[in-house]
Amino acid sequence: MFRNAFSILTDKSANNVLYASTANGLELLILLRSIGFYKNPILIWQHRAVMQSRNKLVRLLLKQYYSGVDIMFMFSQMHIDESIRAGVIKPHKLLLKHWGPDLDYFDHVKSANAVADSKSNELYFCSNGRENRDFPTLIEAFRASGQVLKIYTSKVHGNMNNQDILSRYGDADNIRIQIMNGDSSNSKYLAKEVLNSYGMAICCQERDYTVGLTSLFEAMALGKAIITSDNPYFPIDVEKEQIGIKVGYGDVQGWQNAIDYLVNNQEVAIQMGTNGRKLVEQKYNLNLLSADIASMIRMKGAAI
């Protein structure tokens, strides 16, 4: 935090806007902005609702701190609503932005794998992601359905030992688990596995943020049907958009029903994938987001 503040404050470049994907490490600069010692507008992304407190003194301090933020971008309307109710940041500073995948990247993955591997003829669902996944519910559902599930995740994430949890389910022939390291080179391999899959399974624990959103957009970019936990923080209703099926948290039978439905209705699954791809092309993708954010940065910079 102090190093970042010193580096930015002593930077002699002609920068007039501070834009960041998170406020982490910028807290001192935001505080300095709130009391007038840092002049440049600060535009940041916030992945959850802002902090709130019933303590009057804490609320006063939070109001002072958040006054140093000029624009706060959010992924979810629910986060905006919760932040407004917290009463520590002015509503006009909160903006919903449509984050999305890098379609050029995923199109490259598709073109590089235009000739499918012989193994890709196998019908399987793919589950990737490492954060707050509900593996027990997912595996129990696939055990009951008999369909093949391929799980790709990290050994640990935060307080969750994914490998330990998954080791309890190693006796199911249709459940294939691969523990991945953090190497960025794995991203193309994982994208290929999603591309060759029948659909994406996003089974998460109930949390107060958009857990699973990256997997959702990856499936959409690659044109795959989706079964997902019914996360109200998602900016997309997969059933309303006809790109997938929502299942309640911890609902093993609901998952089994969704799996069986997609397997028995291939045309529906294909259409869901097509709908998802169209939606990210039209509304949720990196190019659209980048142009939008760049426009706001120019606007804020010009206002100085």
What are the structural domains, with CATH classification, of the chain? Answer: 2-99+286-302 (3.40.50.2000), 103-282 (3.40.50.2000)
What is the residue whose two structure tokens read 């910028």? 26
User: In the prediction, which pLDDT does 79 show?
Assistant: 97
Q: Which of 186, 210, 216, 206 is nearest to 126 (CA)?
A: 216
- Label residue 170 exposed, middle or buried (CB < 10 Å: 0-12, 13-18, 19+): exposed
Q: Is 177 strand, coil or helix? A: strand
User: In the prediction, which pLDDT does 16 show?
Assistant: 86
From first to last of the 304 residues of the chain, give the pLDDT tens digit: 767 766 766 676 767 899 999 999 999 999 999 999 999 999 999 999 998 888 999 999 999 999 999 999 999 999 999 999 999 999 999 999 999 999 999 999 999 887 655 455 789 999 998 899 999 999 999 999 999 999 999 888 777 788 888 888 766 889 999 888 766 678 889 999 999 999 999 999 999 999 999 999 999 999 999 999 999 999 999 999 999 999 999 999 999 999 999 999 999 999 999 999 999 999 999 999 999 999 999 887 766 5
User: In the prediction, which pLDDT does 155 show?
Assistant: 80
User: In the prediction, which pLDDT does 301 show?
Assistant: 73
User: In the prediction, which pLDDT does 116 show?
Assistant: 54
User: In the prediction, which pLDDT does 182 show?
Assistant: 66
What is the chain's Cα-based Rg? 22
Non-local (6+) Cβ contacts of 169 within 8 A are 135, 136, 139, 143, 175, 177
Distance (Å) of CA 158 to CA 22, 57, 131, 134, 181 = 18, 31, 8, 14, 15
Reported pTM: 0.90
Please say whether the beta carbons of 68 and 39 come within 8 A: no
User: In the prediction, which pLDDT does 252 show?
Assistant: 98
**DSSP letter at 48?**
S
User: In the prediction, which pLDDT does 120 show?
Assistant: 57
